[in-house]
Amino acid sequence: MTRPGTQGYAAEAATLLQQYESIDFATLHAAFLDLIPPAPARVLDIGAGTGRDAAALAGMGHQVLAVEPTAELRAGGALLHPSPRLAWLDDGLPGLSGVVALGQSYDLVLLTAVWMHLDATDRAAAMPVLAGLLAPGGRLWLSLRHGPVPEGRVMHAVDPAEVIAQAEAAGLTLLRRREGGDTLGRDGVHWTWLAFARAP
């Protein structure tokens, strides 16, 4: 089953494994590093790709569940980043039925370059699911890509104001918003980063 927004990733998995791993976690997330909860925390990385972010967080002493719907990326990431603190799961938005079935709550939920793959209906359905997975005081980070869509991919234009409104409706508070260029230097691509918190 092809989940929403995953088109094109399986065919390019080998290239993407190299591309994603070339980006340093601390550099990419520099504006939010102070929001990482103290270890050991329970972390959920949705759309984990190669596991770059998940592995970095596991290396900090957190227990991380990396959710990746593309089998080729999931398998490659598991080989690149073996760790007793990092587990992988085949699941996807908007419902995250496999994650929900685990019955766990998370101190940090991370969606790096994921949200714009969902259409408006799926975004509206997914936000309450994400909010429900957060522990009291838990934090949700996500990034939105703006600009040209690569051939063979599915991405949607997303207004950050929409995301903020949906998060607030789901009981989350905006902690931080940042705008920035593209780490890989792609023409016309820029990003919005948003961090939210659930009340303690």
Could you tell me the CATH number of the domain that includes residue 152?
A: 3.40.50.150
Is 107 within a domain?
Answer: yes
Residue 11: the pLDDT is: 59
- Please check whether residue 134 is in contact with residue 162, taking contact to mean a CB–CB distance below 8 angstroms: no
Domain encompassing residue 26: 13-198
Is 2 within a domain?
Answer: no
Residue 17: the pLDDT is: 63
Is 8 within a domain?
Answer: no
Is 51 within a domain?
Answer: yes
Give the model confidence (pLDDT) of 23-53 as tens digits.
889 998 999 999 999 999 999 999 999 899 9
- For the chain, the average pLDDT equals 91
Is 72 within a domain?
Answer: yes
Whether pTM > 0.85 for this model: the answer is yes
pLDDT reading at 7 higher than 90: no
Is 43 within a domain?
Answer: yes
Domain total in the chain: 1
Average pLDDT over residues 137-154: 91
Residue 150: the pLDDT is: 78
Residue 16: the pLDDT is: 61
Secondary structure (H, E, C), the chain: CCCCCCCCCCCCHHHHHHHHHCCCHHHHCHHHHHHCCCCCCEEEEECCCCCHHHHHHHHCCCEEEEECCCHHHHHHHHHHCCCCCEEEECCCCCCCHHHHHHCCCEEEEEECCCHHHCCHHHHHHHHHHHHHHEEEEEEEEEEEEECCCCCCCCCCCCCHHHHHHHHHHCCEEEEEEEEEECCCCCCCCEEEEEEEEECC
Is 75 within a domain?
Answer: yes
Is 1 within a domain?
Answer: no
